[in-house]
Amino acid sequence: MQRFEGQVAVITGGAQGIGLGIAHRLGREGASLALLDRDQPKLESAVASLQGACAGVEGFTVDVTDDNAVNGAVEQVLKRFGRIDVLVTAAGIVGVTDTPTHGIETANFDAVLGVNLRGMFFCIRAVLPSMLAADYGRIVNIASITGKDGNEGMMPYTVSKAGVIGMTMVVGREYAHTGITCNAIAPALIQTAMTTEGLDEEHFKRLTARIPMGRTGTIDEVSAVAAFAASRECSFTTGFTFDASGGRAVY
């Protein structure tokens, strides 16, 4: 399928993990890609891995917590590609884990919400004017199943992902009368560097045990859901959160 032929997709957190996996999926289906990430070496490696595997690709070193930097990057994307059809907000951090609420430091709380929630807001706000001008757009936010049912010891992360789901609802409804849709994906534990490096072994096992399928998900499985949500086919669904949870949440 070439569902994204002639389209341009901006993907935050595109240098690795779920973001890079989605980039490969959309690229195989014809999209030109603009990857935004603050890790320049990994970003350069990601761009190199996509060369020749998509219609075009360029990386932009951006910290999504800096609204001026985000606005500047979106302007550069528009100058380079002329349009933005899809935004995938995959940039995210876990923060400190296995810590009860009374032990959470303010700096950790602010850092997690800064990337996972404020950064997402900055990116959505930056692309909406061009999408409105085109009467078309697809916004796909990477949330988490913990945003629905919570993970003890991960209060900042849980709060940030619940906020992502709420933001998705609002944006979806506000622009439902336009050609723009905004949906989210709530994965359970996915095998990525962020989860394997951010969680200790016991915590990893506890989260996996909550998944009825008895295993972690894969980046390819999340990317398949994202590709639908980012496509023209997803035309009558907005403000919704798709699960990719192996049965952990069924609502």
Q: Of the given ranges (5-9, 14-18, 27-31, 196-200), which has the lowest mean pLDDT?
A: 196-200
> Which helix (H) or strand (E) covers residue 184, if one does?
strand 180-187
pLDDT of 184-230, one tens digit each?
A: 999 999 887 766 666 677 877 888 888 999 999 999 999 999 999 99
Task: Quote the distance between the C-alpha of residue 90 and its chain's center.
Answer: 2
How far is it, in rounded angstroms, from Cα 164 to Cα 80? 29
Asked whether 127 and 121 are in contact (CB, 8 A), the reply is no
Mention every residue, 6+ apart, whose C-beta is less than 8 A from residue 78: 84, 130
Rounded distance between C-alpha atoms, residue 5 and residue 30, angstroms: 4
Report, as residue numbers or ranges, the catalytic residues.
157
Distance CA 93, CA 174 (A): 27
Higher pLDDT, 171 or 208: 171
Mean pLDDT for the stretch of residues 78-96: 97
The CATH topology of domain 8-238 is: Rossmann fold (3.40.50)
What is the token pair recorded at 33? Answer: 């890609």
Which pLDDT score is estimated for 203?
Answer: 76
Neighbours of 94 (CB within 10 A): 17
